[in-house]
Structure 1
Amino acid sequence: MDTKNIKAPASTITYNRDNLTNPTGNMYEAISIIAKRAEQINTDVKEELIEKLEEFATYNDSLEEVFENKEQIEVSKFYERLPKPHQIAVQEWLDGKIYFRDTSKSEE
């Protein structure tokens, strides 16, 4: 996931309900699709963060020595400032970037 080019808002905003329901025609379906995408985004960001933090990991058995790694702190702060996964998912939904299909309809 490209975390540097995210265009989602960092704070809470109110969305027009009609804009959210237009693609599916059903608010519950739209929320379900957005929630599933938010889970995917959360998993991707979490894996990326863990991968980056492991680069700075030091394995000591001694509890006496505690090192503050400035690079590790900066990486953590960057990920804390990112928009939340549900905000990213809603923005992707509104931009039409989420693919979905209705499996209840028969495909001919």
Structure 2
Amino acid sequence: MDFKKVDAPRNTVTRDHNDLDRPTGNVYEAVSILAKRADQIAEDMKVELHEKLNEFATHNESLEEIFENKEQIEVSRFYESLPKPHHIAATEWERDEVYFRRPAEEQKED
């Protein structure tokens, strides 16, 4: 996922629960799906951040040679300024970009 192109809000947004539970018919199920998607997004962000920070890492054993790397600080600031994973998940949910299924219903059909 390209986090630079995400246009999710960076501030708190009030959402209508009727719009939130429309695809599922159950607000608790919708919130559960959103939470799982937010966890996926957070894990993706974490992996990507660690990969970028490892590019700048120095593998010295000496504690005396610790210095601030400006590029590393800028990468960290960029990820701090991104919208939070739950905002991204909610934006995807509103646009019907989140796929979910109900395994219990699929088993009943078989």
- TM-score bracket for this pair, using the shorter chain length: over 0.9
Letter in 2 for 1:43: E
Identical columns (%): 60
Partners in 2 of 1:7 and 1:15 — Cα distance? 16
Aligned to 1:66: 66
Partners in 2 of 1:20 and 1:7 — Cα distance? 19
Judge which range, 97-106 or 1-10, deviates more.
97-106
Partners in 2 of 1:107 and 1:90 — Cα distance? 30
Aligned to 1:103: 103
Give secondary structure in 2 for the equivalent of 1:55: helix
Runs of 4+ in 1 over 6 A off after TM superposition: none
Gaps of 5+ in 2: none
Shift of the alpha carbon at 1:104? Answer: 2.2
Q: TM-score of the superposition, structure 1-length normalised? A: 0.95
Partners in 1 of 2:53 and 2:3 — Cα distance? 16
Q: TM-score of the superposition, structure 2-length normalised? A: 0.94
Shift of the alpha carbon at 1:20? Answer: 0.3
Letter in 1 for 2:34: I
RMSD (Å) for aligned C-alpha atoms: 1.0
Aligned to 1:57: 57
Q: 1:86-101, aligned counterparts within 5 Å?
A: 86-101=86-101
Shift of the alpha carbon at 1:101? Answer: 1.4
Structure whose residues are more often helix by fraction: 2
